[in-house]
Amino acid sequence: MTCNLRLLLALAFVLAAGAPARVANSEGRATRIGDVTTVQGIRENPLVGYGLVVGLNRTGDSQQTLFSNQSVANALRKMGVQVSGNLIQTRNVAAVFVTANLPPFARPGQKIDVNVASTGDAKSLEGGVPVMTPLSGPDGRVYALAQGPVILGGFSAGAHSNSVLQNHPTTATIPGGGVVEQDTAVDLNRMRTISLLLREPDFTTAENTAAAINQALGKSIATVVDSRRVDVDAATSGENVPRLISKIQNMTVNVQEPARVVVNERTGTVVMGKGVTLGAASIMHGNLVVQITTVFQVSQPAPGSDGQTTVVPQTSVQANESAARRVELREGATVDELVNGLLAIGATPRDIAAILEALRTAGSLQADVEVI
């Protein structure tokens, strides 16, 4: 048995009083209001349905998937065929969940893309066609119907130990496979107030957004409700609501970039804003590797004795520790300089993620560290 244990020592000391982390460009960056906001009430809605994919080449659900048999029997019963679920062979059928997003202002007859995923033990959905599947919203009403040949992003071939698997053959898509059945469009001309929701909440960005709208339209019709919401009085604007939304979305506003570091510990990915700065700190980094090896030896009894042949494990433990390596950061150093220094001493992305979290705990990194 071999076990590698890697210990990360990240010690951060604030060497001076230090100013808090700051964004290099205090004025922010200019961007379209439409790129940083959404209009409240105008959004996609998730849809879901349960159905059957038929026409598979013996790669569908097995007999142990009872709900597949029941679903096939129910579908046949609706078509006037009476059959017991115990007598149905479902190797060419797979039970699936069908999902889709209903776009805003969807009209009857509009086509949408749908996703299909197996719910049983089917091996592949290749070559299958979903039977007409109703797609319902959270309120239980049917908003669309899904049907059509599936497109897979992978495949499987072979059997038992001689097989090849590429990506996920039990999930598929149907481009344009859903047809909208209900009108979900919103009458914008009835809106008295347009609520703009910032994708990233920030009071300064909200104030800049309201000021940009009032200055461009020459009227004080935009007010800040909180760090995420800006209300625009559409009734007193004198504009058609769709035209007013179009004008607002194409206006330019200065956006304050958040001081944020995003860490994905599962993949070792670290994404950070280049303008984030740190207080003065000293970081020591070292590695300790412990290796445990077990060798099984056979013990034979002496000739003529009544002993038995036994297997005796021989275990050895080895520990190797490398010297700690040090990185010094001056006051106002950027995260980019920190990462370059850590890479120079051989730190891995996972080491960098742990060090950034330790720096935030020590108070040297005044930024939002988001772990996903």
| pLDDT, one tens digit for every residue, the chain (372 residues) | 333 323 333 333 232 333 333 333 445 688 999 999 999 988 899 999 999 999 888 888 887 788 888 888 888 888 888 877 666 777 889 999 999 999 999 999 999 999 999 998 888 888 899 999 999 999 999 999 999 999 887 655 555 555 555 667 889 999 999 999 998 888 888 888 999 999 988 899 999 999 999 999 998 999 999 999 999 999 888 888 999 999 999 999 988 877 778 877 676 677 776 667 677 666 666 654 445 565 667 677 777 677 777 777 766 656 555 555 666 666 667 767 777 777 777 777 777 777 777 777 777 777 777 777
Which residue type sits at 262?
Answer: V
Question: What residues pair up with 218 in beta bridges, in sequence order?
Answer: none
Contact yes or no for 198/258 (Cβ under 8 A)? no
Distance CA 219, CA 286 (A): 61
Q: 3-state DSSP helix/strand/coil percent for the chain, to nearest 5? A: 20, 35, 45
The terminus-to-terminus CA distance of the chain in angstroms comes to 32
What does the pLDDT read at residue 212?
94
* R_g of the chain, CA atoms, integer Å: 31
Structural domains of the chain in order of their starting residue, each with its CATH number:
1-25+258-372 (no CATH), 29-42+187-255 (3.30.1360), 45-180 (no CATH)
256 DSSP assignment: P
What does the pLDDT read at residue 33?
94
318 DSSP assignment: E
